[in-house]
Copies of this chain bind each other. A is one copy, B any other.
Amino acid sequence: MGTRSRGRQGQELSIDAVRFDAGHGERIKPPLTAAQRRRLMALATRVRLPPRTIIYREGDPLSDIFIVGEGLVKSFRDLASGRRRIVHFLFPRDVFGLAETGRYVNTTKTITESLIYRIPHETLTVALHRDAELQFRFLCKVTEKLREAHRQCIVLGRRDAIGRLAMFFKMLEPDGTGRHHGGLIPVPMRRTDIAEYLGLSAEAVSRAARLLAVRKIVAFEGDHAVRVKDRAGFESLVAAA
């Protein structure tokens, strides 16, 4: 497969990582009405999956669109070099199942135990054609994901590991300010996952994390939580770009 997009322009629904609410930021009215949500859920099958379960593999024929109910899922690609790149993490309410030419483009795997909803993609396509408003919500959500992907590009463009890691934590921050959670940021994924997401070696992530702690910018509380100690320093690192 080349780098250039050349997806078939058929009726297939191909959405990846579309969140149904306003994201981790300011809570705005949910883009889906209760009725829409109900109808959508009626089309779905629920599955509960243990950690490290592969949901589908890159290249598998497209069948369903998935929605994360609970848990954490990673979407990644194995490169020719043997290296693995995580394209994005999928949190509750994220939609995934991006396909091209009728095949999934990434492999997805649960990180923690997860509750997953699946909807046959034709079913969803039909529903979207019936309900223009519902479809518009999807459109908004995909554009939102597009913005997020662009932001990730900015992160990856940075050269310094410490800055990338800071931006990553910032991305994980529930409300973006730390006001309501005392600067505590949950970090459900493993270090190697972070490394594969940020395009760094695991060692570099480890060193950057230690540096953040040594500089008293954050304090780690176990492997799966960080607390921002120096908000000003943290934000200036994030903004340094």
Contacts and interface: CB of A to CB of B under 8 A. Distances in A.
Interface of A: 2-9, 11, 14-17, 22-26, 28-31, 77, 79-81, 83, 85, 87-88, 98, 100, 105-106, 128-130, 132-133, 135-136, 138-140, 142-159, 167, 170-171, 173, 176-177, 199, 238-241
- State how many copies of this chain the complex holds: 2
8 contacts: A2-B25, A4-B171, A4-B173, A9-B22, A77-B154, A85-B153, A139-B142, A149-B150
Contact of A135 (B88, B135, B167, B199): B135
Contacts of A158: 199
A148 B167 CA distance: 22
Contact of A14 (B87, B140, B151, B241): B140
Contact of A9 (B140, B142, B151): B140
A83 B241 contact: yes
Nearest to A152: B153
A116 B56 CA distance: 41
A146 B147 contact: no
Nearest to A173: B4
